[in-house]
Amino acid sequence: MKRFIPAWYSQNQWWESQAHPFYRKRAITEFDDMISLMSMHYKNNVQFEIIVLNYNPGLRTFLHRHDLFEASYWSVFDEIQGFNHQTPQSVDYRELKWPTGTEFIYTPYLIQAIMNEHCYSNIYFSQDGYLIWIEDYEDKVLCRRYVFDDRGNLSSMIYYDCEGKQDFIRYMTCDGDWILEENVKNGTVDVHKKYYHRFKYHQYSSMVTVIQEYLHDYCATSTEQDDIIFVASDVRHNTLIAQSFNHHRLCYSVFKQRNQDLNEKALASMTIGQNWLVDTLENEQKLNAYKTKQRLSNRLMRITPFDAQTMSNISSQLHETYIGLWIDGLSEAKLKALMSQCVQYMKDHESMRIVLMSKMERHHISQWLLNEINVINDQFNGKSDVSEEIAELMKEDETIDYVELKIVPFEIDIVEAISTLRIMVDLSEEPDLFLQICCLGAGLPQINQRQTDYVQHGANGLVITTDESLIGALDYFLAHLKHWNYSYAYAQKLSKTYASEKIIEQLDQLIEGEYSGA
């Protein structure tokens, strides 16, 4: 049996809920290596189970968003609280027992229930439309928060002090009792005396020790020693998991977006895992160096956590030719040099358009670049050499975006963005992995400055050594249809190497010790 332990954790206390109202947009994607690997197994009908260590009242809708709703899972907090697997259902706030005379005020972001001049409640909803919180205020000070899960249960209650700061949290049972009380300020956890028999101790020093106790019991009663445990490497839980699954086959997965700081402590926490997965060449080099230094025998394999899927591309149906330029990881000096070449290329080829792509939020983009985009567009639209009055009149005419900036924080945004591109340029030190896999699936030629497994020089892309080589590389594919067609065919063939069934096969070979890189 394969079991996956993700690290879908808060930036604060890792076990706490990440639920938030729909209008608080996430700055980073939810998608990670674990979601991708589990999706591959699900598509290929390979049995597995998800082990969820943190408190996650919105788990089922989260899994549904990533097409994993039917996947089997075991949750520590469901086990503690006694909640069963149920179909998600939202609580109707109107059916709750509100004081007589309560008035509801509807806003674009929340619903406010006003009981009297001193007391009111704010009602919040998730991005899926489920009731997640009701917050009680007395004299404008937050007193309590009722947290509901996506099955319609009152899952926990958070109590606040006179200053509106969190004081303690009570985790509820399906019977409406509280079973654990977590002191937010000192971290201790008390067990309700009614449920002493379900725990080894009446008080714990932290929630981590409670989680460890239940995980250890689950490991002893519900798993077999030949089970394979895939763990999203995270220094906050690596040791805890190793202590519980010390007789199992452990495989830690290093994912660049999660493991941005692979320091000595993080590497040491993975040593008990016999197998390591890594997604980038840079992280592979770090792990190999650590293995050599510590004289370890752990098996290591670099593998894409994303499977290549055939994607639509309509670039051949468009009159304009769109060139994608990935700007993340580029210095301002390098970007200026590249933009200068792109402008010259557009002057020489009037149908060319540049699409700048970034995962960063717009306010993190260099002001120089934002200004440069406007200057270039005005120049090509013929507005740069006219008076302000004439330029104002010209605004009524349809302007063309010769250079466009697309913010692509999520995977679906990248997929949508590349559907119109004719070629992709990523000259960062470590090309974006998901972008490369998407281009492979869409058959797009790629121009990089670093050799990767996903681009064969002269076939489905070019590896250039200087920025000045960009124009020639663009011409190689855009001025010669034969080269573009060959690149497309080669990319489609290469993408089969990274199909989900092939990746699962490689994983199995690693675990069994048959992988050639072992």
DSSP code per residue over 208-231: HHHHHHHHHHHHHHH--TT-EEEE
Q: Does domain 2-83+209-302 have CATH number 3.30.310?
A: no
pLDDT tens-digit series, residues 12-60: 999 999 999 998 876 667 889 999 999 999 999 999 999 999 999 999 9
Distance of CA 340 to the CA centre of its chain: 33
Q: What is the mean pLDDT of residues 321-348?
A: 96
Residue 169: pLDDT band (50, 70, 90) is: very high
- The helix/strand/coil state of 54 is coil
Q: How many residues does the chain have?
A: 518
Reported pTM: 0.86
Q: Which residues pair with 184 in a beta bridge?
A: none
Closest CA to 505 of 274, 303, 263: 303
Q: Are 173 and 159 in contact (CB under 8 A)?
A: no
Q: What is the mean pLDDT of residues 109-122?
A: 96
Q: Is 344 exposed, middle or buried (0-12, 13-18, 19+ CB in 10 A)?
A: exposed
Higher pLDDT, 496 or 78: 78
Q: What is the mean pLDDT of residues 81-86?
A: 92
Residue 196: pLDDT band (50, 70, 90) is: very high
> Half-sphere exposure of residue 31, counting CA atoms within 13 Å on the CB side?
15
pLDDT at 227: 94
Q: Are 408 and 300 in contact (CB under 8 A)?
A: no
pLDDT at 517 over 60: no
Higher pLDDT, 397 or 5: 5
Q: Are 124 and 90 in contact (CB under 8 A)?
A: no
Average pLDDT, the chain: 93
pLDDT at 388 over 70: no
Residue 518: pLDDT band (50, 70, 90) is: very low
pLDDT tens-digit series, residues 340-351: 999 999 999 999
Furthest-apart CA atoms within the chain: distance in Å:
82
Residues 250-283: b if buried by 16+ CB within 10 A, e if exposed? bbbbbbbebbeebeeebbebbbbbbbbbbbbbeb
Q: What is the mean pLDDT of residues 169-198?
A: 97
Q: Are 451 and 429 in contact (CB under 8 A)?
A: no
Closest CA to 431 of 415, 409, 412, 446: 446
Residue 122 parent element (H or E): strand 119-125
Q: Could you tell me where the DSSP H helices lie in 118-197? A: none
Q: Which two three-digit tokens encode residue 204?
A: 């714990």
Range from 134-143, 302-311, 463-472 carrying the lowest mean pLDDT: 302-311
- Specify the fold of 315-497: Rossmann fold (3.40.50)
pLDDT at 283 over 50: yes
Residue 470 parent element (H or E): helix 470-478
